[in-house]
Amino acid sequence: MAGQGTPATALLTRRKIAHRTHPYDVSPDAPNYGALVAAALGVPPAQVFKSLVTEVDGALTVAVVPVTGELDLKALAAAVGGKRAALADRAVAERATGYVRGGISPLGQRKRLPTVVDATALAHPTVYVSAGRRGLQLQLAPADLVALTGATTAPIAAG
């Protein structure tokens, strides 16, 4: 479809990585946003992942976790060899990635940040992540997500 190009979809197209885009209509301010996105797409919530920009010992790091749970900040810090992790300020996250909250993709960010993908992603044939704007998800193989982001995988989700 025309008009759906984002830096994330451009990267996948350029690298010839198999993927599909899926538009959806859910308010980014809705409570339980991730579960609503999964329902709108008709897929199990455990296959839909959110990208959270964090600071680990002052360095920006992206955590990709299932929408069914929360990010375990201690586990994230340990996964990257840090001591302390916290969610990054919204403005900092948007500036660093070039995306807006509710549409931050782990792919095609303005500045490539260290990324950790929750290990549960590898249990699925495909996973869904933001395509880089609100209302659009990308479906791709978890191995491609890990390879393109240079991510490490670790159990970083809680709940």
pLDDT on residue 107: 97
Alpha helices (runs of H) in the chain, residue ranges in sequence order: 7-14, 33-41, 73-79, 90-97, 142-149
pTM of the predicted structure, to 2 decimals: 0.94
Write the CB contacts of 131 (distance below 8 Å, at least 6 apart in sequence). 4, 6, 8, 9, 21, 103, 105, 137, 138
Q: Which domains does the chain have, with CATH numbers?
A: 18-158 (3.90.960.10)
pLDDT in tens, 13-68: 999 999 999 999 998 788 888 899 999 999 999 999 999 999 999 999 999 999 99
pLDDT in tens, 70-105: 999 999 999 999 999 999 999 999 999 999 988 999
Q: 3-class DSSP state for residue 154? A: strand
Q: What mean pLDDT, rounded, does the chain reach?
A: 94
* Structure tokens given for 73: 């900040």
